[in-house]
Amino acid sequence: MAEVLLRQVVKRYGAFQAVHDFDLDIAHEEFVVFVGPSGCGKSTTLRMIAGLEEISGGEIQIGSRVVNDLPPRARNISMVFQNYALYPHMTVRQNQGFGLRMAKRPKEEIEEKVNRASKLLGLREFLSRLPAALSGGQRQRVAMGRAIVRNPDVFLFDEPLSNLDAKLRGQMRTEIKKLHDKVRTTVIYVTHDQVEAMTLADRIVVMRDGRIEQVDTPYEVFHAPASRFVAGFIGSPPMNLIEARTVADGDGISVSAPGWPALPLDPAIFGQVGPDRAVTLGLRPEAIAPERMAGSMARPLAFNADITLVEPLGGEALLFLKMGKDEITARIFRPSTRLAPERDVRFVVDLAEMHLFDAGTGARLNAPRTAIS
């Protein structure tokens, strides 16, 4: 059993605090992804778990053992680096077997484990080559093979796909996912790419400025972002975020934003939101569509807008609308007709997909999803 527990973990560099009171329980065999913009502390946190950075405060446990003061070699972890970090003077076989040789395992065992990992990763024909004679994708595989062979408690990945081109990145992403299904081990994976986070993770940890913004499943992070930051970071194209105010509207309350019609709030979801409050309105591009090609919506509300730009992407298209001074993105799946910039088009927005955040703190104002039924 190798769960990883982080308790109030802190990292300081002189006066600068890179990681603030990081608390997280990672379950045995769980695939957890740390995601966030560069400088958010995700790599630092990973490197503290690896033992490559000292921790300035708090406690880290791997498999119920406190590892705060253990050197990396004593933590029984493997790490895949962004730049692969293959030993250039060793063949693929020697690279993969290095950890086992250091552990003084018998030759036959090393041979057998290296062969098994190489088979799994399709590296068998390259075993005698030096890293210099391999392509980027192959080097990436060798780095993963080196990690697997040691049969560690925890796999750590530090932006492993960032140096690959887009096509290869997609392929390797799928391979990592398949690999985790075959080699069940706890995985902590750092990336700035929210697509990698969404596709790979059992749980996503969204970080910002050294703090955790949200820890949840990819589904929850996407559908119920805990803050305006998470809402804007997860999802591509990003959620439309519009500065707005709540106003009393007959019996209920609606949201008023320049250029938009009044958007009535569902009291079941926004019961605790009072009138006359500065809020940020969040609408995913998928929740907005021209009326003539809109699918079924739970709570449609019609409005008119000008299409200023169309980006056709084949199976889908992005429409850019001018609403007040904001530019709003709408995402249309399988557009049925040719789309072009056009004035005064009838649109619908699904109010059931509305997110509200406090304009000051950025905190989510929607009632928790479990409370709605």
Least distance (Å) from other proteins to the CB of residue 87?
A: 6
For residue 119, with 0-12 CB atoms within 10 Å meaning exposed, 13-18 middle and 19 or more buried, which class applies?
exposed
Least distance (Å) from other proteins to the CB of residue 168?
A: 12
Of residues 140-169, which lie at the interface with other proteins (CB under 8 A)? Answer: 146, 150, 163
97-105, 175-183, 265-273, 293-301 -> range binding other proteins (CB under 8 A): 97-105
Looking at the Cβ atoms of 146 and 173, the one nearer to other proteins is 146
Looking at the Cβ atoms of 80 and 279, the one nearer to other proteins is 80
Least distance (Å) from other proteins to the CB of residue 156?
A: 8
Residue 117 interacts with other proteins (CB under 8 A)? no
Number of residues that bind other proteins (CB under 8 A): 32
Strand order through the sheet with 211-216: 77-80, 154-158, 186-191, 31-35, 203-208, 211-216
Looking at the Cβ atoms of 51 and 210, the one nearer to other proteins is 51
Residue 102 interacts with other proteins (CB under 8 A)? yes
Looking at the Cβ atoms of 85 and 345, the one nearer to other proteins is 85
Give the integer Cα–Cα distance in Å for 46 and 10.
Answer: 12
Looking at the Cβ atoms of 133 and 371, the one nearer to other proteins is 133
Residue 110 interacts with other proteins (CB under 8 A)? no
2-10, 62-70, 132-140, 199-207 -> range binding other proteins (CB under 8 A): 132-140
Looking at the Cβ atoms of 136 and 312, the one nearer to other proteins is 136
Least distance (Å) from other proteins to the CB of residue 53?
A: 10
Token pair, residue 62, equals 């791997």
Of residues 36-95, which lie at the interface with other proteins (CB under 8 A)? Answer: 50-52, 71-73, 75, 77-79, 81, 83-89
Q: Which of 9, 134, 281, 287 binds other proteins (CB under 8 A)?
A: 134
Q: Residue 327 CA to chain centroid, in angstroms?
A: 25
112-120, 128-136, 232-240, 293-301 -> range binding other proteins (CB under 8 A): 128-136
Residues that bind other proteins (CB under 8 A): 50-52, 71-73, 75, 77-79, 81, 83-89, 98-99, 102-103, 130-134, 136, 139, 146, 150, 163
